[in-house]
Amino acid sequence: MGKKTAELDTPFRKGEKVVATRSLLEIPSGAPGKIQMRSGLGTWNRYWVNFDSYGAVGSIDHNDLVRPHQLDEWIERKEALENSALQAESAQADEAAAAGGDAGGTGPASLVPAHLLERSRAAKARLLGS
């Protein structure tokens, strides 16, 4: 009989060993722990975890924990998501540069459509009498 394998998104069970995927308060990334209790609603899973050297900590999100044998898979998934986000951002910048004008940009202003920015500039000029 084969051993069942859990996916990264599979909820943890009480007593299961986990590793922190990021720093949580005084607990460093990579700290080993053991699930004490699971809570949350639907797909929003939260856990109380007893970390070996740091004691019990509550209300930790599922995405902040991983099974020790799945750490490499979790790192690969994270890198793939970051790469796809960078590629999408680069594609948007290329499209904005091809469109010309001040439709492109970086930072929060780039999230606002150019016509709304222009409308705001015109209203500010009217109000300030410039």
What end-to-end distance do the CA atoms of the chain give, in Å? 80
Cα separation, 95 vs 103, whole angstroms: 10
**pLDDT tier for residue 130 given thresholds of 50, 70 and 90:** low
**pLDDT tier for residue 106 given thresholds of 50, 70 and 90:** low
Instruction: Please check whether residues 61 and 100 belong to one and the same domain.
Output: no
DSSP state of 22: S
Boundaries of domain holding 23: 17-68
CATH of the domain at 25: 2.30.30
**pLDDT tier for residue 103 given thresholds of 50, 70 and 90:** very low
Give me the pLDDT at residue 50, please.
Answer: 93
Mean pLDDT of 89-102: 69
**45 falls within a domain:** yes
> How many structural domains does the chain have?
2
Residue-wise pLDDT for 17-31, tens only, equals: 999 999 888 889 999
Q: What single-letter amino acid sits at 46?
A: R
**5 falls within a domain:** no
Q: What single-letter amino acid sits at 58?
A: G
DSSP state of 24: B
Residue-wise pLDDT for 52-86, tens only, equals: 888 888 889 999 999 999 988 888 888 888 888 77
**Burial status of residue 121 (CB atoms within 10 A of its CB: 0-12, 13-18, 19 or more):** exposed
H helices within the chain, ranges in order?
A: 71-99, 114-128
Give me the pLDDT at residue 2, please.
Answer: 45
pTM of the model: 0.59
